[in-house]
Amino acid sequence: MKRFFLTLSLLIILAFQTFGQASEVEMATGLRTSGKIYVVVAVVALIFIGLVIYLFSIDRRLKKLENQD
Protein backbone atom coordinates (compact mmCIF):
# COMPACT_ATOMS: atom_id res chain seq x y z
CA MET A 1 0.00 0.00 0.00
CA LYS A 2 2.81 2.36 0.92
CA ARG A 3 4.61 1.65 -2.31
CA PHE A 4 1.39 2.29 -4.23
CA PHE A 5 1.03 5.78 -2.78
CA LEU A 6 4.69 6.45 -3.41
CA THR A 7 4.42 5.61 -7.10
CA LEU A 8 1.15 7.50 -7.36
CA SER A 9 2.66 10.66 -5.90
CA LEU A 10 5.69 10.23 -8.12
CA LEU A 11 3.44 9.97 -11.18
CA ILE A 12 1.53 13.08 -10.17
CA ILE A 13 4.75 15.03 -9.70
CA LEU A 14 5.98 13.84 -13.07
CA ALA A 15 2.71 14.84 -14.71
CA PHE A 16 2.90 18.31 -13.22
CA GLN A 17 6.44 18.67 -14.39
CA THR A 18 5.58 17.82 -17.97
CA PHE A 19 2.66 20.24 -17.77
CA GLY A 20 5.01 22.97 -16.64
CA GLN A 21 7.25 22.30 -19.60
CA ALA A 22 4.41 22.30 -22.10
CA SER A 23 3.18 25.74 -21.08
CA GLU A 24 6.45 27.31 -22.13
CA VAL A 25 6.81 27.38 -25.89
CA GLU A 26 10.32 26.84 -27.06
CA MET A 27 11.48 29.29 -29.70
CA ALA A 28 14.85 29.59 -31.37
CA THR A 29 15.92 32.53 -29.23
CA GLY A 30 19.31 30.97 -28.59
CA LEU A 31 20.01 30.85 -32.30
CA ARG A 32 19.33 34.54 -32.61
CA THR A 33 21.21 35.74 -29.53
CA SER A 34 24.33 33.99 -30.73
CA GLY A 35 23.97 35.97 -33.94
CA LYS A 36 24.29 32.94 -36.19
CA ILE A 37 20.82 33.30 -37.70
CA TYR A 38 22.12 36.30 -39.65
CA VAL A 39 24.43 33.98 -41.55
CA VAL A 40 21.42 31.95 -42.72
CA VAL A 41 19.54 35.10 -43.69
CA ALA A 42 22.56 36.35 -45.62
CA VAL A 43 22.90 33.02 -47.45
CA VAL A 44 19.25 32.89 -48.47
CA ALA A 45 19.30 36.56 -49.48
CA LEU A 46 22.42 35.96 -51.54
CA ILE A 47 20.82 33.03 -53.36
CA PHE A 48 17.78 35.14 -54.09
CA ILE A 49 19.86 38.09 -55.34
CA GLY A 50 21.73 35.67 -57.60
CA LEU A 51 18.46 34.35 -59.01
CA VAL A 52 17.19 37.89 -59.64
CA ILE A 53 20.39 38.86 -61.47
CA TYR A 54 20.03 35.66 -63.52
CA LEU A 55 16.42 36.56 -64.37
CA PHE A 56 17.47 40.06 -65.42
CA SER A 57 20.18 38.64 -67.67
CA ILE A 58 17.66 36.27 -69.30
CA ASP A 59 15.39 39.27 -69.79
CA ARG A 60 18.19 41.22 -71.49
CA ARG A 61 19.14 38.36 -73.82
CA LEU A 62 15.51 37.98 -74.77
CA LYS A 63 15.29 41.69 -75.54
CA LYS A 64 18.30 41.37 -77.86
CA LEU A 65 16.62 38.48 -79.70
CA GLU A 66 13.38 40.45 -80.01
CA ASN A 67 15.23 43.43 -81.46
CA GLN A 68 16.97 41.27 -84.06
CA ASP A 69 13.76 40.53 -85.93
Residue 37's CB: how many other CB atoms inside 10 A?
13
Using the rule CB under 8 A, is 39 a contact of other proteins? Answer: no
d(CA 47, CA 39): 12
Using the rule CB under 8 A, is 45 a contact of other proteins? Answer: yes
d(CA 62, CA 55): 11
Binder among 44, 50, 54, 57 for other proteins (CB under 8 A): 44
Q: Which residues bind other proteins (CB under 8 A)?
A: 22, 25-28, 32, 37-38, 40-41, 44-45, 48-49, 52, 55-56, 58-59, 62, 65-66, 69
